Structure 1
Amino acid sequence: MTTGAPTTSEITVLNPHDGTLVGSLPCAGEDEIRGALTAARSAASDWARTDPEERGRMLRAAAEALVQHATELAELNTRETGKLAQEALGGVMAGVGTLRQYAELGPVHRGHSLRGGVLAADWTVAEPRGVVVALTPWNDPVAVAAGLLGAAIVTGNAVVHKPSERCPHTGARLGEILAEVLPEGVLVTVTGGPEAGRLLTQLPEVDAVAHVGSSATGRAIALAAAQTGAHVIRENGGNDALVIDDDVDPAWAAEQAAIGAFTNAGQICTSVERVYVHRQIAEPFLEALAAEARARNRDRDTMLAPLVDRRLRETVQGHVAAAVADGATVLEGGVVPDGPGSFYPATVLRDCTERMQVMREETFGPVAPVAVVESFAEGLRLAAADRYGLAATVLTGRIAHAQRAVAELAVGTVKINNVFGGAPGGSAQPRRDSGAGFGYGPELLDEMTQVKVVHVEMPPARG
């Protein structure tokens, strides 16, 4: 549903491929935001009392509605964010799978029995938190939103969803599609920029905030929640490392690095942001990685998405230029192309050091900065010395090195020999500047509920 109060401004979106106008949508003002929260609060009580099986049935219906509109949403996503068509459709279908998964998991989400007195009974009950605010990103807008919305809705919460201002049309259309099969007020979508998101997280009517986005925004949300008492789930930025041992095939390692650094033009929270390669295989690895980048730059229409906008491109180019000024060498890319849109070439940098911004910060672009290390231990040490804690990947044929990486890397997810590997529903807890709480998987149902302990025993016999 949408509210009818006046709005304060508009969001205008340009197509990252060619700079043409996608469209404009209104920014929700304070009246609309308060109205959305009121509508969600009004729906929350009845929805919480709805049988879990019925909530699961409705979520399955929402998944099927998403299937019917998959092509439409994927095309809209491509126009707004530049995501390659096949990857955009894959993101929508991933969202469908997530909704179906939560439709099955939700009705069997349950508490635990507790051992108490012989003549007493003790158990826990999982109850919905109430009104959940979901703030979702632009880099995979349907898949990520489906996870947060699905988990919140199936556990009996009402949700106010604000999609990123970089993909408001995709988020608004997703909201319309899902809301059509849900009771009024269970899912309310508002469009707006940072001010709208800030207000949503500062109002005391909110019981929980689920956020996927930047670390700076995540910290602001956590500070606001300290005042409102809202529960916060946040998956924020990452600076994921790739550590390459000396016993692996350098060509295969280059393929893995390219997939990790260049997929969706590096605009993935768990993209490879920095590479540590053992000196023994460094030269063939760098040669192969540069070739991987060149192949993507030659065929960017099918292999390399543009960056979401020119503002991000300026940031990416700033990281690369600063690294070069500080001694890094460009093996491929590194130059802003002429023409419309916001493309940036797949870029490989060698001779990178820890003092460079491109190694210390999340670049969020198709850049693979490489540091050559003398040993696996050195690569692991440098990978672990970071303020982020989202994920990391290690390529090695030695089980002892794999086990050491698992023990020493203080991140939510450690991947061995596959940069984007992982089973469906594999939950993780990001750490430090990368966030807190389970942002996906079965454990997200726990985040969306609160536990009540029940104790029952017989009263004493009368007289």
Structure 2
Amino acid sequence: MSPTAQGRTVIRGDTADEDGTDTFVSIDPRTGEVVGTHPVHGPAKVAATVRAARPAGAWWAGLGFAERARRLTAWRRLLVGRLDEFAALICAETGKPLDDARLELVMVVDHLHWAAHNAERVLGRRRVPTGLLMYNHVATLEYLPLGVVGVIGPWNYPAFTPMGSIAYALAAGNAVVFKPSELTPGVGEWLAASFAEVVPEHPVFTVVTGFGDTGAALCRSGVDKVAFTGSTATGRRVMATCAETLTPVLVECGGKDALIVDGDADLDAAADAALWGAMSNAGQTCVGVERVYVVEPVADRFVELLVAKAAGLRPGGEPGADLGPITMPAQVDVIRRHVREALDRGARAVVGGRDSVRPPYVEPVVLVDVPEDAPAVAEETFGPVVVVNRVSDVDEAVRRANGTGYGLGGAVFSRARGAELARRLRAGMVAVNSVLSFVAVPALPFGGVGDSGFGRIHGDDGLREFTRAQAVTRRRFAALLHPMTFDRGSRTVRRLVRLIRLRYGR
């Protein structure tokens, strides 16, 4: 056996599967117990899986929107019926509290329903205006499936986040090959196995498991698009690998999301939202609140309320714990460094502090007066740590919120200026007088800018992300003026120019 950088174990040689394939184990981060054993799929197996998905995808696309919706509805009902079983597996592989896993699956079900029932409206063939020049034609537009989509998923929301690609790609008519995180392979296998129960005919949705090399093999396997969610550093590597074969990518990376608290905000609601945005899922949320900028006149009261609410939160592995463990062991060192360097540079911990990091758990930490260039402000922490800094006014808050390479999500608490401030934030999604609410609206696109990536999942944009547009024109009758022929005559274009000047030149 040999350890990996993520703290997992690979079984080599004779102790592997019956066919000699290397295996690895998924581990409950709360207890260290083995949850399951999974194969390390190499390039040959990944390529074979994609080859098998190709005819399966063609069959799936040929079913049409209505039949795909019927099958996806059956899958949705199966997921609802076995929700607690699936939630227990998510808890085992991530360590998150059971209710958090259930909430994740509630959103999975809602998004799956939306994708299945809106795909035809968004993607189906429709007529579009032809304009003046092509008045004798009928023009149509439709969005056709790409074929096979590769999805590389994260561990923090191991069902909900990849399903933002999987459900929408399937609804659009594609086959999917999913490479789940090496920390949560069982979740990926459970999803694929449950789908196969309602679509047993062909391998429309399959899973390959392993580490970074398996993900790289998926990028090189000939899939028609790769949808990746993970760190910005890994996203760059995925893009570079996909560039070898000009495989298009959708990249959803990290964030350093800010919450702005205006002087007229409901401070109790703002403090409650800031706490949930920063601490839920033990802070392991790409759109979680990591920075709060609060205007000076209400800063003391806001901090007072936040401290009072945070003081009662407790991490642990028991069912009643508020926070689970830090799922990826290496992240503990990042969290510890951010807290230590902030305090060393003059910040104050009003909740928790240096001793809050007790692997695999981290108790809530609230830091105030942190320098803007400290790692706790400038880098993604991905733990239950939030920075609260005072600003003179909301204009300064917006400048600081936008002062990062990331641009994923954000939040604003303001009674009078919420919508105005939201539009000024360089972020793909913004919640006004709430946090994270955009995640739970299936009709809204989800994605960021800058170091947070590009492309969109969810909503109409998320469906189109996994298709190719096809424009078709059909001539209905001969035109009086036909310029697109060598037999057009010397006066045809002059007449067209005269017509255009009369129509559009005034």
Residue of structure 2 equivalent to 1:415: 431
SS at match of 1:330: strand
* Residue from 101, 106, 128 that aligns with 1:114: 128
Counterpart mapping for 1:46-195 below 5 A: 46-108=59-121, 109-116=123-130, 117-182=134-199, 183-195=201-213
Counterpart mapping for 1:300-379 below 5 A: 301-336=320-355, 342-379=360-397
* Residue from 202, 206, 215 that aligns with 2:223: 206
8 A Cα contact 2:114 2:442, kept in partner: no
Deviations 1:327-382 (A, max 9, x none): 2111122345697x611001111111211001011111000111111222111110
Matched, 1:232 2:282: no
Shift of 1:403: 4.1
User: Per the alignment, do residues 210 and 84 of structure 1 end up closer, same or farther by CA in structure 2, a change over 3 Å counting?
Assistant: same
Q: Please give the TM-score of this superposition, normalised by the length of structure 1.
A: 0.92
Deviations 1:169-202 (A, max 9, x none): 1111111111221231211111111111112113
User: Per the alignment, do residues 440 and 405 of structure 1 end up closer, same or farther by CA in structure 2, a change over 3 Å counting?
Assistant: same
8 A Cα contact 2:315 2:323, kept in partner: no
Deviations 1:196-222 (A, max 9, x none): 11121133x110111121112222222
Shift of 1:6: 5.3
SS at match of 1:308: coil
**Bigger Rg, structure 1 or 2:** 2
SS at match of 1:127: strand
Matched, 1:260 2:277: yes
Amino acid at match of 2:466: M
Q: Please give the TM-score of this superposition, normalised by the length of structure 2.
A: 0.85
Shift of 1:459: 7.7
Amino acid at match of 2:329: R
8 A Cα contact 2:53 2:176, kept in partner: yes
> Residues of 2 paired with 1:361 and 1:6: CA distance?
44
> Residues of 1 paired with 2:264 and 2:252: CA distance?
33
> Residues of 2 paired with 1:88 and 1:268: CA distance?
13
Amino acid at match of 1:411: A
CA RMSD of aligned residues (A): 2.2
8 A Cα contact 1:16 1:343, kept in partner: no
Residue of structure 1 equivalent to 2:10: none
Residue of structure 2 equivalent to 1:28: 41
> Residues of 1 paired with 2:362 and 2:32: CA distance?
14
Residue of structure 2 equivalent to 1:39: 52
Deviations 1:230-257 (A, max 9, x none): 2222221111001111222433322121
> Residues of 1 paired with 2:260 and 2:357: CA distance?
34
8 A Cα contact 1:243 1:393, kept in partner: yes
> Residues of 2 paired with 1:280 and 1:426: CA distance?
34
Gaps of at least 5 residues in structure 1 are: none
> Residues of 2 paired with 1:272 and 1:352: CA distance?
15
SS at match of 1:141: coil
Gaps of at least 5 residues in structure 2 are: 1-16, 480-506
> Residues of 1 paired with 2:375 and 2:206: CA distance?
39
Bigger drift between 362-371 and 95-104 goes to 95-104
8 A Cα contact 2:47 2:217, kept in partner: no
